[in-house]
């Protein structure tokens, strides 16, 4: 089997539990039929994505949206379904207490509450066998002078250090940055540089996660990826597409060329390993959710296949000869290759239907859950 096929067979893309629940914008949540009523049903839906793609073996949880009494039981349920628990996502943004921030709040009581929640998430990791904690802070300010920018960095560092010290030997946390929203003047972790600086200070168990929707328009995300990989600080991705801000649309839908360029840097930088988590962070507000996840996994696979197809030797030769058009041509040849037949072969070799979208549609799973599940839950956003 070719090296490219072997690499594609090894790719694992994590789906988020919140993608399966109802979601929407601040204007309207459109309820869909058959959505999960609890975390157990979210895992069942995620298992379908894995069953038809063979490439989505883990599921990210979100605490408290996926809070259960017995996490070991939830992990066993996942394993019975053929998937496992992936990253644990913390939530320090939905309580009234967090109006002025969580770990950076000027109020010590609120900071304590937020850090305690992060520590609770590490307990969930222990109970589920998850090795990754994902930290996203909505913290920031809306008005100049509202709070002291530098003190907020001190408070952030203090909380991160406490969480870092609580991590077990095989656990890590990924610090996520986001330019703006919900804060509109300052954000306490607005960019990769801020996240990187905090992670470097803490040590090897702290890494940066790149959410592809969290940058200013025009930002060269692949440069950030190349830089972080070179420093050993790229922990993973939250893949999604954006046209405007943090749109959370399906990965590879808005700009498949950008996704290819990112995946090329991952391959080039040796990040195509289990250490870099390929996660989806998406909401399917108007399209069916399970099928939307399947499509997204396929889009990431297509970008990856194209990245693996780049003739690196020819590229290096053109680059060192200063052959600008030649180098660009090698790069574009790979991008313009139709990799769908190759991926169909990879799926067939795995014993899967070469067309996951059609196979899922034929399976009758959606009709089954639509009939069985009444009163499905909102994903969490705005809940």
Number of residues that bind ligand AOS (CB under 6 A): 11
Smallest separation (angstroms) from ligand AOS to the CB of 281: 5
Q: Angle formed by the axes of helices 356-363 and 39-53, to 10°?
A: 130
Site string for ligand AOS, 140-179 (x = CB under 6 A): ------------------------------------x-x-
Q: Which residue is nearest to Zn ion (CB)?
A: 238
Q: Assess 284 for contact with ligand AOS (CB under 6 A).
A: no
Rounded Cα distance, 10 and 82, in Å: 16
Among ligand AOS, Zn ion, none, what binds residue 89 when CB lies within 5 to 8 Å by partner kind?
ligand AOS
- The answer to whether 133 touches 174, Cβ cutoff 8 Å, is yes
Smallest separation (angstroms) from Zn ion to the CB of 181: 8
Going by C-beta distance under 8 Å and a sequence separation of 6 or more, which residues neighbour residue 49? 15, 56, 290, 293, 294, 297
State the Cα angle at 190 between 187 and 193, rounded to 5°: 140
Smallest separation (angstroms) from Zn ion to the CB of 41: 23
Among Zn ion, ligand AOS, none, what binds residue 62 when CB lies within 5 to 8 Å by partner kind?
ligand AOS
Q: Which of residues 26-85 bind ligand AOS (CB under 6 A)?
A: 62
Going by C-beta distance under 8 Å and a sequence separation of 6 or more, which residues neighbour residue 244? 217
Smallest separation (angstroms) from ligand AOS to the CB of 121: 11
Q: Which is nearer to ligand AOS, 9 or 179 (CB)?
A: 179
Cα-based torsion angle of the residue sequence 246, 249, 252, 258 in order, rounded to the nearest 10 degrees: -20
Rounded Cα distance, 248 and 341, in Å: 28
Q: Which of residues 114-143 bind ligand AOS (CB under 6 A)?
A: 136
Rounded Cα distance, 68 and 191, in Å: 33
Number of residues that bind Zn ion (CB under 5 A): 4
Q: Assess 281 for contact with Zn ion (CB under 5 A).
A: yes
Q: Assess 211 for contact with Zn ion (CB under 5 A).
A: yes
Cis? peptide before 182, omega within 30° of 0: yes
Q: Assess 211 for contact with ligand AOS (CB under 6 A).
A: yes
Q: Assess 246 for contact with Zn ion (CB under 5 A).
A: yes
Q: Which is nearer to ligand AOS, 105 or 240 (CB)?
A: 240
Q: Assess 131 for contact with Zn ion (CB under 5 A).
A: no
Smallest separation (angstroms) from ligand AOS to the CB of 5: 32
Phi, psi of 86 (to 5 degrees): -100, -130
**Distance set, CA 118 to CA 64, 102, 165 (Å):** 11, 11, 12
Six-digit token string for 149: 């920018």
**Nearest CA to 13 among 43, 75, 60, 56?**
56
**Distance set, CA 41 to CA 60, 131, 378 (Å):** 14, 22, 13
Candidates 281, 297, 305, 365: give the one binding ligand AOS (CB under 6 A): 281
Candidates 14, 45, 222, 246: give the one binding ligand AOS (CB under 6 A): 246
Question: Which stretch in 117-125, 242-250, 261-269, 358-366 sits in contact with Zn ion by CB under 5 A?
Answer: 242-250
Q: Assess 89 for contact with ligand AOS (CB under 6 A).
A: yes
Positions that interact with Zn ion (CB under 5 A): 211, 238, 246, 281
Positions that interact with ligand AOS (CB under 6 A): 18, 62, 89, 91, 136, 176, 178, 211, 238, 246, 281
């Amino acid at each position: 089997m070719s090296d490219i096929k072997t690499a594609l067979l090894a790719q694992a893309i994590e789906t988020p539990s919140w993608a399966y629940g109802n979601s929407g914008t601040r204007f309207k949540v459109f309820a869909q039929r058959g959505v999960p009523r609890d975390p157990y049903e979210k895992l069942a839906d995620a298992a379908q994505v894995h069953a038809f793609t063979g490439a989505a073996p883990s599921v990210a949880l979100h605490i408290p949206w996926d809070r259960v009494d017995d996490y070991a039981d939830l992990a066993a349920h996942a394993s019975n379904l053929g998937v496992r628990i992936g990253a644990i996502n913390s939530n320090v943004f939905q309580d009234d207490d967090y109006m002025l921030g969580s770990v950076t709040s000027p109020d010590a009581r609120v900071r304590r509450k937020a850090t305690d929640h992060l520590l609770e998430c590490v307990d969930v990791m222990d109970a589920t066998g998850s090795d990754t904690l994902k930290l996203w802070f909505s913290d920031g300010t809306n008005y100049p002078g509202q709070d002291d920018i530098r003190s907020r960095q001190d408070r952030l560092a203090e909380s991160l250090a406490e969480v870092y010290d609580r991590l077990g030997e095989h656990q890590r946390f990924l610090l996520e940055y986001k330019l703006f929203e919900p804060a509109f003047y300052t954000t306490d972790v607005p960019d990769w540089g801020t996240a990187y600086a905090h992670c470097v200070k803490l040590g090897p168990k702290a890494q940066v996660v790149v959410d592809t929707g969290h940058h200013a328009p025009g930002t060269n995300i692949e440069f950030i990826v190349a830089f972080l990989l070179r420093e050993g600080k790229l922990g993973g991705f939250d893949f999604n597409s954006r046209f405007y801000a943090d749109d959370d649309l399906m990965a590879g839908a808005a700009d498949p060329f950008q996704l290819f360029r990112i995946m090329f840097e991952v391959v080039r930088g040796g990040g195509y390993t289990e250490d870099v988590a390929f996660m989806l962070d998406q909401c399917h507000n108007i399209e069916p959710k399970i099928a939307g996840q399947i499509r997204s996994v396929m889009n990431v696979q297509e970008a990856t296949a194209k990245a693996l197809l780049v003739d690196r030797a020819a590229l290096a030769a053109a680059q060192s000869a200063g052959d600008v058009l030649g180098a660009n041509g090698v790069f574009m040849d790979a991008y313009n290759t139709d990799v769908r037949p190759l991926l169909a072969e990879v799926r067939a070799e795995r014993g899967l239907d070469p067309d996951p979208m059609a196979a899922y549609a034929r399976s009758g799973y959606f009709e089954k859950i639509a009939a069985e599940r009444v009163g499905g839950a909102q994903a969490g956003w705005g809940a």
